[in-house]
Structure 1
Amino acid sequence: MSTRVLICDDSKIARKQLTRVLPADWDIDVEYAEHGEEALDKLSASAFDILFLDLNMPVKDGYETLEALQSFDSSPAVIVVSGDVQPKAIQRVKEMGAVAFHKKPASAEELRALLLSLGLFSVQGADHSYGQQSALIEQATAAEQFTLNECLQEISNIAMGRAASVLADMLNVFIKLPVPRVNILEVSELQMALEYSVKDDSCSAVSQGFVGSGIAFETLLIFSDSSFPDMAKLLSMTETIDSVVEVELLMDVSSVLVGPFIDAFGKQLNIDFSHSHPALFAQHAKVADLVNIKKAKWKRTLVVEIVYEVENYQISCDLMMLFTEDSVSELENLLSYLVEED
């Protein structure tokens, strides 16, 4: 009898990648859900043996899904597969009933070993013919088409989790992670996006340039000015928070968030990005002022946006990657190649 598997992830790329690394000699019936609410509807309608569950999703995320499953009379074995590798995230999902955690992107060897260790897959019961089931899965996933935004979002999602883990370890906190937003924006749209994300009237920002393999972009890390007192507290800074201390805090957090993010981002693309030194972009400025400073340069740009929040603290920062127009075609070529290789 086939093992019924449900893969829940908002990313089509992640669903494809995970499907293709499942054991090829495993007799399974695979279905998909794009978010937790859809997964719960499928689980309510029929029984599944295993649920592979992402954490950062719209509508209903992985934590909310695990919480809802606790009220089910019968629920599948849940394996969380996520780019959020914070130790506290792993601990939380296991406390909420997940039998295991596996970081993205999953590898065939590691996933096979995990399934064997959990007793969810056995070599004795496997179909060693690598037959019809494997071929059907391959055919279904090969038919998927992916946009630049979808590819960039999934790569950014994994990089975001790596950076958050570094900051969480440094501050001994839990970082709340969103679904990265990817869009090509005009200047006016970019200003609206910033105004939506940066809630305070006043903010400060650090910028840094990166280039490699024909791809160039600028990172902009924007802090709400109300974040400074709690950030200083977490970093055990006792001196008075003046403009000099604020710049020090900005640079410290920027190096921790941006460095690991770009490192993880570049590794997925097989690019070692060269970079400029981080520079103070603005201090105690309005969002409109941030855009006006480089309005000529940012006429129309591909933007990746991630809003990091620290749980139980009034700390919020917005990380943006702003790609040059010439980089878009290079990214499309590179990402399409990577998707074909999955």
Structure 2
Amino acid sequence: MPTFSLLVCDDSNMARKQLLRALPADWPVTVSQASHGQEALELLRTQHFDLLLLDLTMPVLDGYGVLTAIRAEGLQCPVIVVSGDVQDEALRRVTELGALAFLKKPAEPALLQETLQRLGLLTVTGGALAPASLSEPQVTFRDAFREVINVAMGRAAALLARVLGVFVQLPVPNVNILEVGELHMALIDAQQGDRLTAVCQGYIGGGICGEALLLFHDSEVADMARLMQRHEHDYQPMEMLLDMSSVVIGACLSGIAEQINVKFSQGHPQILGEHASIDELIRLNQQRWRKTLAVEVSYSIEGHDIHFDLLLLFTEDSVPLLTHKLAYLMG
């Protein structure tokens, strides 16, 4: 009996490894892997696959681009989207583009099997998988943590989308160990010549601690306030920024905590620098940020000229504890 041919497309080694481990153990399947959408399309154009498991947020070509190309080129391959972007609008768009199902990351094995059965894609023979057919990628700490962040930022975006009634465009998150000078450069890139207001909120849990920093460009504050449905004559910009920060930071930290099995206590959000330059922010906080595990997520609101940056700055001492928490995912 011929085996089922599966293509898994995700830029994260961690996500591909999780998906491979979620597959039914007695499913006779051969698996090919792609690390971005363009690579997946090139495989689809030259080989037959019975199913594509597709991520949305990827470099080079994202999942929406893959679905669009599959339809435009008449490529015959059923697609199930597996994504951390769980906005209602994301589900609507991929369904409209032809995806047969949408699963949120990390895919639960029982739900994946149920979906495969419902779509008539699962053929079980009772035999074991050939070991060579499931070559698991190697996962580093950075890759594992980036995937945890990817899932968490997707949940934060979904909550923000519901609050604002918009579609939030998600990037591939950056995860780096930065010295204060390197952090300075990363923040300079975020500034883009505009003056900033930053909201800072500390967090701690299970010995892991740090600060979340949400950077707002001053030129976009009024537009964000309008999205928060506050009229210009009665809204307080700083109050609006604190409210929005609570939504984004709280949801993102909650998503991280759930995945690594900790509970974060959060301090009160504070305005760190009103109409300040990056140089001022760094000068005021360089002792706290001397060396940090920095996560950068740049959100943008579709249809509006609104962008803001979320930085999660974990202390150097938190890295060994995070590594321990992620070890079961990386193993």
Q: What is the CA distance between 1:200 and its match in structure 2?
A: 4.2
The residue aligned with 2:213 is 220
Partner of 1:217, secondary structure, is strand
**Residues 185-218 of structure 1 deviation map (CA, whole Å, 9 limit, x = unaligned):** 1222112111222324211011111111111111
Give the letter for the 1:68 counterpart: A
Alpha-carbon spacing, 1:187–1:280, altered in 2? closer, same or farther (3 Å): same
CA distance in 2, matches of 1:175, 1:47: 34
What's the C-alpha RMSD, in Å, of the aligned pairs?
A: 1.4
1:250 maps onto 2:246 in alignment: no
TM-score by length of 1: 0.93
Partner of 1:266: 257
What does residue 152 of structure 1 align with?
145
CA distance in 2, matches of 1:70, 1:289: 50
> Matches of 1:137 and 1:288 in 2, distance apart?
52
Distance of aligned partners of 1:103 and 1:132 in 2 relative to their CA distance in 1, 3 Å threshold: closer
Q: Secondary structure at the match of 1:23?
A: coil
- 2:124 pairs, out of 101, 105, 126, with 126
User: Do the aligned residues in 1 keep the contact of 2:222 with 2:237 (CA within 8 Å)?
Assistant: no
1:338 positional shift: 3.3
Pair 1:180-2:183 in alignment = no
| Cα distance in 1 between the residues matched to 2:132 and 2:26 | 13
Contact preservation (8 Å) 2:223, 2:306 = yes
The answer on 1:316 being equivalent to 2:307 is yes
Query: Partner of 1:97 in structure 2?
Result: 98
Alignment partners' CA distance in 2, 1:255 and 1:149 = 26
- Report the Cα offset of residue 60 of structure 1: 0.7
Select the residue among 185, 193, 198 that pairs with 1:205: 198
Query: How big is each residue's C-alpha offset from its partner over 1:106-135, in whole Å with a ceiling of 9 and x where there is no partner?
Result: 0110000011111111xxx41213x243x4
Query: Residue 216 of structure 1 aligns to which amino acid in structure 2?
Result: C
> Hey, what does 2:41 align to over in structure 1?
40
Q: Distance in 2 between matches of 1:87 and 1:2?
A: 35
**2:224 corresponding residue in structure 1:** 231
1:292 aligns to what? 283
Does the Cα contact within 8 Å between 1:221 and 1:254 map onto a contact in 2?
A: yes
1:154-173 to structure 2, matched below 5 A, reads: 154-173=147-166
SS in 2 for 1:334: helix
CA distance in 2, matches of 1:74, 1:218: 46
Cα distance in structure 2, aligned partners of 1:206 and 1:73: 48
State the number of aligned residues.
330
2:71 corresponds to which residue?
70
Q: Counterpart of 2:189 in structure 1: which amino acid?
A: Y
SS in 1 for 2:211: strand
1:14 matched to 2:18? The reply is no
8 A Cα contact 2:45 2:75, kept in partner: no
Is contact 2:196–2:276 with CA below 8 Å preserved after alignment?
yes
Q: Does 1:110 align with 2:103?
A: no
Contact 1:211 1:273 in 2 (8 A): yes
In the alignment, the residues of structure 2 paired with residue 255 and residue 128 of structure 1 have an alpha-carbon distance, to the nearest angstrom, of: 50
Q: Show CA shifts across 1:31-64 (max 9, x none).
A: 0000001001111111111111101101111111
Number of the residue aligned with 1:327: 318
Paired AA for residue 128 in structure 1: G
Identity of aligned residues (%): 45
Cα distance in 2 for partners of 1:49, 1:86 equals 27
Q: State the 1:17 CA deviation.
A: 0.4
- Structure 1 residue 71, shift from structure 2 partner: 2.0
One-letter code aligned to 1:176: Q
Q: What is the deviation of 1:137?
A: 4.8
**Kept after mapping to 2: 8 A contact 1:180/1:305:** yes
For residues 273-302 of structure 1, the C-alpha deviation after alignment (integer angstroms, 9 at most, x for no partner) is 112111111111112222111112212211
* Alpha-carbon distance in structure 1 between the residues aligned to 2:217 and 2:26: 52
SS at match of 2:73: coil
AA in 1 matched with 2:108: S
TM-score, length basis structure 2: 0.96
Aligned to 1:4: 5
Report Cα offsets for 1:68-112 as digits up to 9, x if no partner. Answer: 111223321011100000000110011111111110000110000
Tell me how far apart the structure 2 counterparts of residues 79 and 113 of structure 1 sit (CA, whole Å). Answer: 13
